[in-house]
Structure 1
Amino acid sequence: MNSKNDDALRHLRLAGVVRLGLGGGRGPTDAYVFDPHRLALPAWACALGDAGPPALLVTLDRHLDIVVPERPADMPDRSAGLRALDEHARWRLDVRNYDHILAAMEANLVGDALIIARTRPRGSFAGDTYVDTRGRSHRIVTATTVDRAAEAYLHPGPTDAVCDVLEAASAVLLDVDLDCFTSLSDADPTTVLPWPKAVIREFLLPPDSEPFWDAVLGKAVALTLAREPHHCGGLLASGELFRDVAEVLFRELLRVEPP
């Protein structure tokens, strides 16, 4: 069996993960779409394979998903194979979908992480370096918006590390949680308000962000997109939001036709 067919069969084992080809644009040639964000972990494993250095994760989210897994030492290493990583993500990671990033560091899939997010869940790791249970150090760089990440890339201050982690990376995993493009209602904190397309575009493509995106997309090997409907106002609301985000993310940023 040739490697291309083997890769296709590996992907078919990932229940609930839709793989899309993104040929003809800029950036990654493959995208993986799923609902619970923890399924990003086996998708990253599928994209990276069993060998090679870990990738830099560049993730856009409403939440900083850096809660330490309950038993981090139990996370299989990527050398254990896709099935082991997939089963662990589905059955052992938290159903609240906020510990998959540090779990991916434990698995040696993700090296450093650049996280663009606005909200810190209770129990989130608070440091700027995570040392996994195998003794490897991982830098965690955070920014609240794309324009702040882009500014830190173009004009780094004494403590800005956006440029450092991007330049050090051999490969990038670009990850997007659909709830990045939502806000909670001031009148009712249990109500989720999806952003209109104009606000999505303003967030994703602020002025002077092109050099930052060139640096990210020039090394991106895959895009993962979590739909998380329960964080986006439900199935219907999240479907409409996905359509608007796809127009900006795929057509305007990646320059390919939306799925």
Structure 2
Amino acid sequence: MIKFRNPYHIEPPGALREILSHPVNETEAIELVVFQEHRYAFFYWNKWMHKNKSSNPPCLVSLDWHQDLCYPGETEKEWLDELDLTSDADVSIFTWAKLAGNNDGHILCAAYLNLIGDIYVHCRQELGQDTWKDEELIDANGNKHIIKKFKTHQALQDALLNSSETSVFFDIDLDFFSVKNGLSDGSFEFTYLKEEEIRNMLDKDNPLINWIFERIKGFTIATEPKHCGGLLRSNKFLDLISEIYFSPDLFAPKCNWKWKTKY
């Protein structure tokens, strides 16, 4: 057994966490976390779910080039059933060492433990003719989780604005901003959304983002530099998100939402 210096304060390696005021609600605070490996989001969804002490987990809204929607197999289900979700040490090690290293299983493993509710993924990855059909997962407690995948921003917006969701974990994998993803198709060639498109998509006054920010309970960002075409490209996208939303910069002293630091 690994002995930790402080077993009550352990997080996945390399993660950076920022405590922010809620972007809309003046009486709440939320956390934003940045990490390279997308599976580390599992740790924080668990942490936030138990902190809020709610039996109804937030839905997940994820922007990602990949779907990251592999179902847990029987061995993974056994591991999940045995996992002590109250132990930061156990969950951190599990997230790092036992979730799929290619970062495609964390979402449905979280759903299996009811750490997230229904799932809404805006992605570019095509996986055959049924790519965009809804799916469902029955979790360890018998709850049904609907899995929805969207090819366009407008389709995601229409679905969420017409839903009854009341709380959200917002998740961005920075490789979402690539269009042709050369690491995924083997060409090693990349093309990207234009900066203006990204700014318009993420603008706080965009109806979808406004809807998310009214309900947000946590914000995760996976940098995934290899899938972005390199570390500098990944950092560029992270810098753009910081510029759009925060002042001073993300992780700078007294960082907060830009529209809250103007006054």
State the TM-score, normalized to the length of structure 1.
0.77
Q: Point out where structure 2 has 5 or more consecutive residues left out of the alignment.
A: 1-6, 248-255
Structure 1: any 5+ residue segments left out of the alignment? 1-8, 155-162
Instruction: Give the corresponding residue for 2:250.
Output: none
- Aligned position for 2:195: 197
In structure 1, the residue matched to 2:4 is none
Does the Cα contact within 8 Å between 1:72 and 1:106 map onto a contact in 2?
Answer: no
Q: Number of aligned pairs?
A: 235
Q: Which amino acid aligns with 2:224?
A: E
SS at match of 1:184: coil
* Equivalences for residues 2-151 of structure 1 within 5 A: 12-23=10-21, 25-26=23-24, 29-49=30-50, 51-53=53-55, 54-70=57-73, 71-73=75-77, 74-76=79-81, 79-120=85-126, 127-151=134-158
Equivalent pair of 1:64/1:117 in contact (CA under 8 Å): yes
Name the CA distance, whole Å, in 2 between partners of 1:10 and 1:82. Answer: 6
Deviations 1:108-160 (A, max 9, x none): 211211111121468x8965211134432101122223222223445xxxxxx
1:88 is displaced (CA, Å) by: 1.5
Query: What one-letter code is carried by the residue in structure 2 that aligns with 1:52?
Result: S
Superposed displacement of residue 106, structure 1? 1.6
Q: CA deviation at 1:234?
A: 1.3
The letter for the 1-side match of 2:191 is L
Q: 1:102 to 1:228 in 2, by over 3 A?
A: same
Question: Which of 172, 175, 180 is 2:171 aligned to?
Answer: 175
Q: Matched residues in 1 for 2:240 and 2:143: separation?
A: 39
CA contact (8 A) 1:147 1:203 kept: no
Residue 224 of structure 1 is matched in structure 2 by 220
Q: Determine the C-alpha separation between the residues in 1 that align with 2:105 and 2:239.
A: 27
CA RMSD of aligned residues (A): 3.3
Deviates more, 1:107-116 or 1:220-229: 107-116
Distance 1:91 1:12, change over 3 A: closer
* Residues 221 and 10 (structure 1), Cα distance of their counterparts in 2 relative to 1, 3 Å cut: farther
Task: Report sequence identity in percent.
Answer: 25
State how far apart, in whole Å, the 1-side matches of 2:88 and 2:136 are: 27
Separation in structure 2 between the aligned mates of residue 24 and residue 111 of structure 1, nearest angstrom: 21
1:199-231 deviation digits (Å, cap 9, x = unpaired): 21233349x942x33332222111000000110
Give me the TM-score of the superposition, normalised by structure 2.
0.76
Residue 246 (1) aligns with residue 231 (2):
no
